[in-house]
Amino acid sequence: MEMFGYDFASVLYQYFVETKQLKSLLTEFPNYHVYLDKFFSTGRHGRISWIRDIEDGDYTKASKTLADVALHSEDLNSNSKLELSIAKLSSLAGNPSRQDDDANDLLTSIEARVEVLSIQESVLEQVEGYANAETGLRYQIHSNDLISGIKDSPAHAEIVKRGLSRVAQKKQLTAEELIDVLTLMDTTTKDSRLNFFRALQVLNVPKAVTRNRTLTEKLIWRRLLLRDDWQQIVDTKLQSDSKVKAISEKTILYQTLKECAIASEQSTGSDVRDKFLSDLSTEIVLNPALLVDSALDTSKLSERFPKLDSLKLNQIESELDADTAALQNLVKNFTLGFWTQGIYSTVQASRSTDRMNVD
């Protein structure tokens, strides 16, 4: 080893990697660990090098390495979750007093990604019943059964199909892809009706949404408001208050706002606005005309949907224009703002009453 130097050592180390002789890689030639450090410094062997970092007591470095592997090199959810769990333990071991700001930021990032993975797992539970029974292949989902609500929007339907395919294969989605699946797939079950709340959870996970957060936030609310049957709600206008309240409480908007309020109270002890509803989200709920008056920045679509070609992006833009027209109709002819304000106030009053009863 000494005679031939690093050139020979790197070839030998690569051989150990390729033949899965990891014990030999990590323990042989202890007097030449400087060569092993140089070999690992290339960044191509993070799945192995973190073990060496642990042995050396460099827990923070091990945590960074594992987090990077989980976030950028891993495809399967299960592997990523395991790597992130070990990364979290390493981060805590390397920063027991929580005084290192960089280490704290890393820990926040790790916990955020674990939360996103857990939400993706909830989608898998929802779609398992749609697996292809004929072939027995779990990853073949009858996607058309899950996108009936957007059957007239083929570009958006393709986004959901692609996302559901990865979900069924237990492969990671980006935060943006997960939000698209949550807000575009059908909400036919009680659990799936909470998907818009889950989308807001993903949106609020620190550093999860990296591509145009404002556009993504507006897309969530556009899709939510177009999902409820506002004709049914408007038809209650001359009915009793109790009837109106009962129907309003069945809307996805009400259920989403209620879950936001509960989650915020559990986290901060305060009301719905503090955590899950940004200023923009609150403004949209109280005045949905903003979604019509303030047009989407379609110049950002290629950034928001990086896997789509120019033809699909044009289709997306056309379908978004149709959604804008539908929203405009709701605002103008269904007094949408009146109803969303009422539902928002009902949620606030309900949570206030519940808190008083608990006290």
CA terminus-to-terminus distance, the chain: 73
Q: What is the pLDDT of residue 35?
A: 86
Q: What is the pLDDT of residue 137?
A: 43
Buried b / exposed e over 280-309, threshold 16 CB at 10 Å, is ebeebbeebebbbeeebeeeebeebbeebe
State how far the Cα of 106 lies from the Cα of 102, in Å rounded to an integer. Answer: 6
Q: What is the pLDDT of residue 341?
A: 95
The mean pLDDT value for 271-290 works out to 79
Q: Which of 87-101, 115-129, 268-282 is predicted least confidently?
A: 268-282
* Structural contact between residues 126 and 167, judged by C-beta atoms closer than 8 angstroms: no
Q: What is the pLDDT of residue 135?
A: 46
3-state secondary structure of 76: strand
Whether residue 131 has pLDDT greater than 80:
no
